[in-house]
Amino acid sequence: MGTLSLHPGIDVRDAPLKEIKVTSSRRFIASFNVVNTTKRDAGKYRCMIRTEGGVGISNYAELVVKEPPVPIAPPQLASVGATYLWIQLNANSINGDGPTVAREVEYRTASGSWNDRQPVDSTSYKIGHLDPDTEYEISVLLTRPGEGGTGSPGPALRTRTKCADPMRGPRKLEVVEVKSRQITIRWEPFGYNVTRCHSYNLTVHYCYQVGGQEQVREEVSWDTENSHPQHTITNLSPYTNVSVKLILMNPEGRKESQELIVQTDEDLPGAVPTESIQGSTFEEKIFLQWREPTQTYGVITLYEITYKAVSSFDPEIDLSNQSGRVSKLGNETHFLFFGLYPGTTYSFTIRASTAKGFGPPATNQFTTKISAPSMPAYELETPLNQTDNTATVMLNSQYYFAAEFPADSLQAVQPFTIGDNKTYNGYWNTPLLPYKSYRIYFQAASRANGETKIDCVQVATKGAATPKPVPEPEKQTDHTVKIAGVIAGILLFVIIFLGVVLVMKKRKLAEKRKETMSSTRQEMTVMVNSMDRSYAEQGTNCDEAFSFMDTHNLNGRSVSSPSSFTMKTNTLSTSVPNSYYPDPFVPTAILVPINDETHTMASDTSSLVQSHTYKKREPADVPYQTGQLHPAIRVADLLQHITQMKCAEGYGFKEEYESFFEGQSAPWDSAKKDENRMKNRYGNIIAYDHSRVRLQTIEGDTNSDYINGNYIDGYHRPNHYIATQGPMQETIYDFWRMVWHENTASIIMVTNLVEVGRVKCCKYWPDDTEIYKDIKVTLIETELLAEYVIRTFAVEKRGVHEIREIRQFHFTGWPDHGVPYHATGLLGFVRQVKSKSPPSAGPLVVHCSAGAGRTGCFIVIDIMLDMAEREGVVDIYNCVRELRSRRVNMVQTEEQYVFIHDAILEACLCGDTSVPASQVRSLYYDMNKLDPQTNSSQIKEEFRTLNMVTPTLRVEDCSIALLPRNHEKNRCMDILPPDRCLPFLITIDGESSNYINAALMDSYKQPSAFIVTQHPLPNTVKDFWRLVLDYHCTSVVMLNDVDPAQLCPQYWPENGVHRHGPIQVEFVSADLEEDIISRIFRIYNAARPQDGYRMVQQFQFLGWPMYRDTPVSKRSFLKLIRQVDKWQEEYNGGEGRTVVHCLNGGGRSGTFCAISIVCEMLRHQRTVDVFHAVKTLRNNKPNMVDLLDQYKFCYEVALEYLNSG
């Protein structure tokens, strides 16, 4: 066969032959593949065949050319996500020929090859499983019918996916370096697979406490590409806990690392506050006190005190040896400097030291008091010359300042004649009486800075020269005048002489104390260091008891008389050689006649000013004694012991208590005197003679020393307590005399004034100021708490220039009968007394009504707490027996005896769980750490202890709730209020009973401040509003949802008035703020319109869904607490009660009350004690805060409170 060619018109185009099909001998059909055609190739073609035999031409066939479709525009982006792109194909406008029978989407990363084709059957398409924050190119391909109908990809859409939430937070956060003011941390490097975004920030978030305020800071770390990334935080406070975490953030989210707590290193401390450096000055001593630096920057380990004398009233004193340096341990902020010069100014420089060294110095100056001049030792020898009318003595010029004489007139020893009938500076040196005997004294006085000190010495005596003449009758009047003069002279001398003797004796005692001071201080240090840390001394012990009568007021010249003459001169401003006493120096000669007659003498105490300090108590050398028949019990065995004693049949608490001696066991003759009977409240509870408190007698009345009180020994503290009766009207003055005389700083009152209609104690304190004869008592402050009151008084005594601060701790939670239901409140009361009683003060005065039962309970508990802490044992039996040997019938009932055991057990099990506000964050962090050995944490153990000590309600405790008529008023029969806490309804409402399922609860400061109840049932809505009205409630807190399916109806009106029997509830207003709906209602009793109405605000909290154990937000729950507190304070001055309800009046309501109590603690004491708050609530209702997560939430809201400032 020859060549076949296609001829489109006049052109010739060769095409490969595809197929020839012969149809007859003269005809055949030829098929050609026409390739690489374009639109221009379209047209009519015919086939030409060439053979040897000739050329043949076919008829024309038409070639139709179709171009595959291609979109004109790129696809459009409809939406974008982190792992998907949603596009519109935008393929309606095309280049090429249709129809389009198929669509495909092709995409790839911007820098990669084409990844995949996906068929599309709609005009939009979602491309999924993409990488976050990655740029992609997307094209659309179209296909028309026929082979080769798929066109090339259309224009590409170039776009980027969003970032995704980081996969996780940074890991392996650890400390690289710690310095005093900076820390360096590092973490595990991470890449795109963690960040899931190319644009991200790594923020270092850290917080720490400065001056009680929490500082929160954030810094961006740029060291993220390093293989060992790290960051340094600077400008921190030394020795501070810093909480650090890393926050990985991109535009779509954030992930945090675990928190790391780092303590910065110590640094040099700040300066001791200059204003805190205080000095109590004496003649030869200065007692220096100071406070630790405001910025300690570590643990203060040492104080260095440098001192030196800078000036003196005596310019001739050599001050060069009056300097030195002493060191004190960091926990001692006082020191007694002795052996100083009187009237000398000393400069004291104090530096504090940490492990890093000493900080800057702080300096203050103090001046010792001046001293009376030292008098020479005169030998009582015969005067140089004496006649019947005169006596001549030698005056030592070294100690004499002549005011009326020339300055140089006494430079040498010279005689001075007494009785020369001359006048010296206004004083007549009258002739001596020959029939009188005289003692001759030389007196000198020092004055400086408004202070005067005197001293005198006997220089001679003169005997009578002639017998005493008998006066004639007509001269009796003159003789009487002379006798009066003699008496006046004697009195003048005695007053001055006694003052001098007292000062000299004090000096000798002070010198004797100096010799033993070093050993005494060592003994005290051993004793203090061995004391229990939880009851550490709150004050500062002085190294000596500074009770010197060291100041005498010289109110003018001495009065002359015919029998006693004083030579007194005005003063010159010069110094006294060889003495430490400031000028001016006033020498005085005193002549005292010696009479055979006896005179009654009274001393004028107004001239003595006594500086008050608390008397120091020395510890006993032997521990508290335990008995052999009743040995002490180990604290670890106490629970088992109490359980056995309560259950024992043969020998239990009943038999043990009955073994105590009952009634009088020692003489009490003084108490039985007729003069003292009226001073006893009860005839059978009076004071034993051997241990009774003896008051100072008044004006010679020997019976005025009696008061019905006895000394009781404490733990290692003799006479640490005075157990006494509650004062009667007749004994109030004696009571305050005792408090003053015994140097008491704390009065403990364990009774109410009136109980069961009987007067138990007279109100012996004022509401403002009261004067009890020579004692003035002023009320300074009253601190009211739920179960006790602390009153602070300023007490003064006439003639004594000091004011003492005395506190009265009044426990009000003891019921009229029996003992408290639980010991929690009393234990907190005991701890308050311990913490606020100066350790160096006199005895604690403890009283109830008789001063035996409750008083004994308090004292035994106080002693046993000390013993348990010190020795790990308790000896309650022998302690009670010892108390009864000092005062009759201490611990009066078996019930009180058992209560003491229960109280000590609770104290030992629970311990002191209060935490200072500054330590809450670090402590809570530690409490949540899991112990790998026990697979538990401290907070779990604390909650387990709480469950263990929570009292279980018995059937008889809830007898009223279990009455048949009240069953339908209880939502759950296993959640019932005990009888003792029920708020009985008062408003009368037909046949309705006075019962409602509710319980009264104390807040931190107010008794029965909360009423916890269930959500009202449909049949108890009217009882609910009766409760609100009867108990003066001004707030209602709702912590659950309205749910008719659970019998939780809406019990309030949304508008208008609802009537519930006589009570009408009127809607006033409503407001929504975040998670809190607040509604205000006006409620009143229509049957008693004279009572007026009350405004009540309901707070419905929306942020606690029913499926959650705790609220969603700590911040919003704290806001709820604050809104309720604000309304309570604004509307009713904080006096109204708050009704709190959830579904069953349990865990949620308890959580609200507990957090409210904790916030009150923080406001008033800057402490947190979640355990005590919940334990107090559970004492009334065991299901308060019934989940561990709710218990933790209480701590977390406390932290939120601290963070919010």
Active site residues: 848, 1142
User: 67 with 144: CB under 8 angstroms?
Assistant: no
Alpha-carbon distances, residue 804 vs 732, 746, 807 (angstroms): 18, 11, 10
Report d(CA 248, CA 231) in Å as an integer. 14
Opening angle at CA 854, ends 848 and 856, nearest 5: 110
Task: Give the chain's radius of gyration (CA, Å).
Answer: 49
SS (H, E, C) 638-678: HHHHHHHHHHCCCCCHHHHHHCCCCCCCCCCHHHHCHHHHC
SS (H, E, C) 888-956: CCCCCCHHHHHHHHHHHHHHHHHCCCCEEHHHHHHHHHHHCCEECCCCEEHHHHHHHHHHHHCCCCCHH
Q: Which of 1004, 1035, 1002 is nearest to 1160 (CA)?
A: 1004
* DSSP-derived pairing of the beta strands 758-759 and 930-931: unpaired
Report d(CA 861, CA 1081) in Å as an integer. 48
* DSSP-derived pairing of the beta strands 1093-1101 and 1033-1038: parallel
Opening angle at CA 146, ends 144 and 149, nearest 5: 45
Crossing angle, helix 876-886 and helix 894-910, to 10 degrees? 130
Report d(CA 977, CA 948) in Å as an integer. 20
User: 766 with 779: CB under 8 angstroms?
Assistant: yes
Name the DSSP letter for residue 274: G
Q: 214 - beta bridge partners?
A: 209
Helix/strand/coil for 361: coil
Report d(CA 364, CA 1162) in Å as an integer. 36
1010 Cβ contact list (under 8 Å, min separation 6): 1000, 1001, 1002, 1003, 1137, 1138, 1139, 1140, 1153, 1156
User: 1048 with 1143: CB under 8 angstroms?
Assistant: yes
Q: Which of 1054, 1139, 1055 is nearest to 1099 (CA)?
A: 1139
Crossing angle, helix 1188-1203 and helix 1114-1132, to 10 degrees? 70
- Which tokens hold the place of 474? 């007509």
793 Cβ contact list (under 8 Å, min separation 6): 765, 777, 778, 779, 780, 805, 806, 807, 808
Q: Which of 263, 268, 270, 264 is nearest to 294 (CA)?
A: 270
User: 1121 with 1010: CB under 8 angstroms?
Assistant: no
User: 581 with 447: CB under 8 angstroms?
Assistant: no
Opening angle at CA 109, ends 103 and 111, nearest 5: 130
1141 CB-contact burial (10 Å; exposed 0-12 / middle 13-18 / buried 19+) = buried
292 CB-contact burial (10 Å; exposed 0-12 / middle 13-18 / buried 19+) = middle
Report d(CA 878, CA 1184) in Å as an integer. 38
Report d(CA 570, CA 410) in Å as an integer. 14
Within 10 angstroms of residue 13's Cβ, the number of other Cβ atoms is 14
* DSSP-derived pairing of the beta strands 70-71 and 278-281: unpaired
